[in-house]
Chain A
């Protein structure tokens, strides 16, 4: 990673915060309308230990939900990628499932497993994020040119050898493209549940308590913390992509 790649985005963030501060100052907005970055510093100072604990809660539940989505999504994608019948059977179901607004599913799940807060949150993060992974893997597998298969099949290779040596690596770029979408979705899912479910934990719950106490700077501080965590998760995926599918990047 070159220094350029660090300081250019950093400058962009600083410029963004400065513009935000200036906007609030010029418009003369009170705190309850729009907090400015300088209001956030005291909020972080006051609640830093809460931010750490809640941030960790949000983080681990998102990651666990996402890992489940990866495992399940790949398996579902394999089933649909290798079998035409399964693809025809499952696709409409999946699309319908994905089309249901998740904001409606969250309260249902919260009621269904009331009290099991960790489980609920992981479940929602999982439900919301497996779809892109399953679709990308199934498309990657089903669009594999027959010649790739034939090269190995004519040598007597088994289906699983073909999967590990060709089909899976060839699908990795699409998989990581989907994972970048999924990681953000899982994060949104986690937060939805944290906000909705009573006595919740995590940054979503912290946001909710800011709302109940009319602590507007705290609410904005949570938003920024969420954005920060989201960026971190996203770039972890980007780093993994570089390691495992860097060959697909033709820009270098």
Chain B
């Protein structure tokens, strides 16, 4: 199958005051068009670095990152990003915040069409009626939903989510998981989701990639079988328990707390 994102044998070090810090070493990742890959791994292992590579914000020392077969050497306008920090602009309304990417990337949409699309996205995530509000008037979960709309407004080929739900409480997070499924059905995208929540990874993604500790390499890949529309109940099935156990064991290996091979 043709992959939309292809990361091959990537090595990267940051130059720091105390010499080079190897962050990625032997990273492999492939995401087919329409795929949604969750990346988990120990804290500080290089997950955000991976997102910066895919976005073209960072060029790896070695190896290559390809999107649609083209090698990435600079930022391109075909990605959308959302982070743990929603980074909405306080001097703009929610609607204006969502429209921001259209002011930068070349677009075929007229102003009115862009606005209609923004309203549609906001309605899709349940923010109808909040278009004219300021970010500070929204709760954390609502801000994160607006940030998601902004990441999607220009119909990016790749959606990059770096722990977008990390700072939210458990209930709000589960709400947003379901919203993500709704969004994916309406606005298909190819996605990379960084997360430290294993339940989130198996609920949202169709593949979970476990990275080793720093310097990170691809340690383990788990395919999540497609069993039709997912509900939260799926997280409490024996199949889900098995997957979570496998992943938890892999994380312990990555953290160096368990020997590889031995099943949990």
Contact = CB atoms under 8 A, between A and B. Distances in A.
A161 interface: yes
Contacts of B191: none
B143 to A, nearest CB: 13
B57 A155 contact: no
Interface residues of A, number: 21
A248 to B, nearest CB: 7
A154 B72 CA distance: 12
Contact of A248 (B52, B77, B90, B160): B90
A147 B89 CA distance: 12
B81 A169 contact: no
B118 interface: no
Contacts of B134: 247
Interface string B86-107: 0101110000000011011100
A250 interface: yes
Given A161-B104, A248-B90, A147 B83 contact: yes
Contact of A145 (B55, B56, B85, B160): B85
Contacts of A153: 57, 75
B74 to A, nearest CB: 8
A47 interface: no
Chain A interface SS verdict (over half)? helix
Interface residues of B, number: 26
B90 A247 contact: yes
Contact of B104 (A148, A152, A250): A152
B81 A154 contact: yes
A150 B52 contact: yes
A156 B77 contact: yes
B75, B76, B104, B154: which has the most chain A beta carbons within 10 Å? B104
Contacts of B74: 156
A155 B52 contact: no
A166 interface: yes
A163 to B, nearest CB: 13
B121 interface: no
Interface in B52-91: 52, 55-57, 74-77, 79, 81, 83, 85, 87, 89-91
B89 to A, nearest CB: 7
B136 interface: yes
Contacts of B89: 166, 169-170
Nearest to B105: A155
A155 B79 CA distance: 7
Contacts of A245: 91
Contacts of B57: 150, 153-154
Interface of A: 145, 147-148, 150-157, 161, 165-166, 169-170, 172, 245, 247-248, 250
Given A152-B100, A155-B154, 17 more contacts: A145-B87, A150-B55, A150-B57, A150-B83, A151-B150, A154-B55, A154-B56, A154-B57, A155-B77, A155-B79, A156-B74, A156-B75, A165-B100, A165-B103, A170-B89, A172-B91, A248-B91
7 contacts: A156-B105, A165-B100, A169-B89, A169-B91, A170-B89, A245-B91, A247-B90
